[in-house]
Amino acid sequence: MRFKKALSLLGILYSSYLFIGWGYVGHQIINRNSTLSFPPEMAYFLGWADSLAAHGSDADYRGSTDPTEAHKHYIDIDNYPEFVATGRIPQDYEKLVAIHGDSFVSVQGILPWAILATMDSLQAAFSSQRWQRAMLFAADLGHYVGDGHMPLHITRNYNGQYSGQYGIHSRYETGMLNRYSHQISYGGSSIDYVTVSADFVFGFLYENYVFVDSVLQADNAATAIAGNTEDDAYYAALWDESRGFTARLLENASNRIAALIYASWINAGSPIPGIGNIVNASLNLNRGWNMVSFNVIPVDLNVDVVMQPVVDKLVIMKNGDGQAYIPQYGINVIGQIDIEEGYQMYLTDQAALPVTGFEAAPGTTIDLSRGWSLIGYPLDQSMDIRKVLEGIWDKIGLIKNGMGQVVIPAYDIMQFTQMVPGQAYQLYLTEAAILIFP
Ligand SMILES: [Zn+2]
């Protein structure tokens, strides 16, 4: 996404434009296809395909609430005199800031360093075996790498404003791809371990910069053929002119995402979920609303797979963020089961849900923000709530179980005292805190 101020033709009015690299569809394709290139030893993570696709544009959506997000999605690299002169810029962020100043570097966009920072986060999540978190960082990584393969995200002429091709950004990434992305097929290819470095990231940015001109030329050709930049004839011609390199860019993006995820996984020591015994558990679900959590990590994390045994009775399932799984309508925003989270489920009849998976590691940790959270209970036995929540007790405003019973520490109100496997809890915190389960 780009959120920038562009000078109007009159030269006096400023307006804001919103650009989403590759659009929602493009980022979905890129992220999903990255799993096609996962090496055999990462077979477990093939199950991430749907989730990586579903979360492919999370980074764009964050832009509406996080003012630091927008400039992570692009770099106007040709605004650097070094690039114009040599086709390269100093790749070290501090060095670049020393030369050009903080504000100039920030305004040009910080895409390459956002990729490197996300790699660090991904590797840390792998190291601490926090799988859901790792998947979300991998999805963000895929997004930023995808943006780095969208030529108009690496140039000052990002919307054709300097070449009389105003509006090319969304024509190319959204208008065209929404019409023709179904024609792109890609089977994955083998990847090697890569050294994660600024060289690697800038390497593909320099390579992809060449296609800025290709996009602009395709637009000119299509405009000449169609006589406009709007109708089907224009988009057919734009696709015709650009499909070769566009398919290649998408494919390269997917490959590089796979290589980077693989590298961070190797660097983290190649952890695989569930080193330990497989456990069979069963979740008893009532007719109507339930507030539940999982205390084994399902072998296959996909919600579709986990909920399959009760799918004929399940109307809706929601997590604490309000993301839903509605099987009858094929809606699955949840993607994967996370033992840290609680879920609300509505069933037309009672049912027992068998779950096969791995025991949660001791010390499972949840980052909680201020306000409401719906948390899971990943332990396999009941425990006193004061013991489980000891470390965050003074920050708890209120906690409520699925029966509507509450605990309010400040008033010594204890309508329940045990936390129970399979249940979930609504928790109100007066400030952010980290919950570490015993
Ligand atoms: Zn973006």
For residue 144, report the distance from its CA to the centre of ligand 1, in Å. 6
Looking at residue 51, its pLDDT comes to 87
Mean pLDDT over 388-403 rounds to 94
Residue 3: pLDDT over 80: no
Looking at residue 276, its pLDDT comes to 56
Residue 140: pLDDT over 90: yes
Average pLDDT, the chain: 90
Q: 251-272: per-residue pLDDT in tens?
A: 999 999 999 999 999 999 998 8
For residue 139, report the distance from its CA to the centre of ligand 1, in Å. 12
Minimum mean pLDDT range among 51-65, 143-157, 172-186: 51-65
For residue 173, report the distance from its CA to the centre of ligand 1, in Å. 11
Looking at residue 204, its pLDDT comes to 98
Q: Is the Cα torsion angle 192, 193, 199, 202 positive or negative in sign?
A: positive
Give 19's pLDDT tier (boundaries 50, 70, 90). low
Kindly provide the residue ranges of all beta strands, DSSP E only, lying in 333-436, ordered along the sequence.
343-347, 351-359, 365-368, 371-375, 383-384, 396-400, 406-408, 413-414, 418-419, 425-429, 433-436
Looking at residue 11, its pLDDT comes to 27
For residue 68, report the distance from its CA to the centre of ligand 1, in Å. 13
For residue 242, report the distance from its CA to the centre of ligand 1, in Å. 21
What percentage of the chain exceeds 70 in pLDDT?
Answer: 93
Looking at residue 6, its pLDDT comes to 34
Looking at residue 122, its pLDDT comes to 96
Q: 283-293: per-residue pLDDT in tens?
A: 999 999 999 99
Q: 202-256: per-residue pLDDT in tens?
A: 999 999 999 999 999 999 999 999 999 999 999 999 999 999 999 999 999 999 9
Question: Of 363, 305, 312, 358, whose CA–CA distance to 334 is shortest?
Answer: 305
For residue 267, report the distance from its CA to the centre of ligand 1, in Å. 26
Residue of 382 and 229 predicted with greater confidence: 229
For residue 379, report the distance from its CA to the centre of ligand 1, in Å. 38
Give 362's pLDDT tier (boundaries 50, 70, 90). low
For residue 228, report the distance from its CA to the centre of ligand 1, in Å. 27
Taking residue 7's Cβ as centre, other Cβ atoms within 10 Å add up to 11
Looking at residue 296, its pLDDT comes to 86
For residue 308, report the distance from its CA to the centre of ligand 1, in Å. 34
Looking at residue 5, its pLDDT comes to 33
For residue 347, report the distance from its CA to the centre of ligand 1, in Å. 38
Residue 24: pLDDT over 90: no
For residue 97, report the distance from its CA to the centre of ligand 1, in Å. 23
Looking at residue 37, its pLDDT comes to 96
3-state SS, residue 68: coil
- Asked if 147 contacts 30 with a C-beta cutoff of 8 angstroms, the reply is no
For residue 73, report the distance from its CA to the centre of ligand 1, in Å. 5
Looking at residue 23, its pLDDT comes to 84
For residue 231, report the distance from its CA to the centre of ligand 1, in Å. 26
CA pair distance 60, 236, nearest whole angstrom: 28
Looking at residue 172, its pLDDT comes to 96
Residue 149: pLDDT over 80: yes
Break the chain down into helix, strand, coil percent, rounded to 5. 45, 20, 35
- Asked if 310 contacts 347 with a C-beta cutoff of 8 angstroms, the reply is yes
Q: 312-351: per-residue pLDDT in tens?
A: 999 999 999 999 999 999 999 998 898 889 999 999 999 9
For residue 166, report the distance from its CA to the centre of ligand 1, in Å. 19
For residue 147, report the distance from its CA to the centre of ligand 1, in Å. 6
For residue 72, report the distance from its CA to the centre of ligand 1, in Å. 8
Which residues neighbour ligand 1 (ion) by CB within 5 Å? 1, 21, 60, 73, 147
Residue 360: pLDDT over 80: no
Looking at residue 361, its pLDDT comes to 67
For residue 18, report the distance from its CA to the centre of ligand 1, in Å. 10
- Asked if 379 contacts 437 with a C-beta cutoff of 8 angstroms, the reply is yes
Residue of 14 and 318 predicted with greater confidence: 318
Q: 77-127: per-residue pLDDT in tens?
A: 999 999 999 999 999 999 999 999 999 999 999 999 999 999 999 999 998
